[in-house]
């Protein structure tokens, strides 16, 4: 749904783990699917009762959206699995890792040649056998 702004979700889930956010998204999508199935079941009952024609009232792809309502429900059930203490430890670890990276790690990219061992800065072009075979 274009009305669902990912930036708002991101601000609302500060401190949540990737798994926590994934759970929110899955919950919202399952709710949307459940609603679509129930709506189709109701439509089929009306078709069987003669209240609707066979093709009348079918939900279009444009109507099958995960909406704000679905995310609001999912967020009402959401919980953070990472404590403030663990977040602080992770941020400290991330800073140490960032500070300890050399230029080679931060500027790495594969070369254009497409050959094995063709990373930029790899002059010999051959990969050493890691297992000595």
Mean pLDDT of 79-94: 89
Say if residue 32's pLDDT is above 70.
yes
CA distance 120 to 124: 11
The 3-state secondary structure of 34-97, one letter per residue: HHHHHHHHHHHHHHHCCCCCCCCCCCCHHHCCCCHHHHHHHHHHCCCCCCHHHHHHHHHHHHHH
pLDDT tens for residues 44-84? 999 999 998 988 888 888 888 999 999 999 999 999 998 99
Least confident of 11-15, 30-34, 40-44, 108-112: 108-112
Say if residue 41's pLDDT is above 90.
yes
């Amino acid at each position: 749904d274009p009305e669902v702004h990912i930036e708002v979700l991101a601000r609302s889930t500060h401190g949540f783990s990737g798994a926590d956010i994934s759970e929110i998204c899955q919950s919202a999508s399952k709710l949307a699917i459940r609603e679509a199935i129930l709506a189709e079941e109701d439509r089929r009952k009306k078709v069987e009762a003669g209240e609707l024609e066979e093709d009348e009232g079918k939900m279009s792809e444009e109507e099958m959206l995960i909406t704000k309502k679905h995310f609001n429900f999912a967020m009402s059930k959401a919980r953070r699995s990472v404590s403030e203490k663990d977040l602080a430890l992770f941020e400290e670890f991330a800073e140490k890792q960032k500070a300890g990276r050399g230029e080679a790690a931060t500027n790495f990219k594969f070369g254009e040649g497409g050959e094995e061992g063709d990373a930029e800065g790899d002059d010999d072009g051959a990969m050493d056998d890691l297992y000595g075979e």
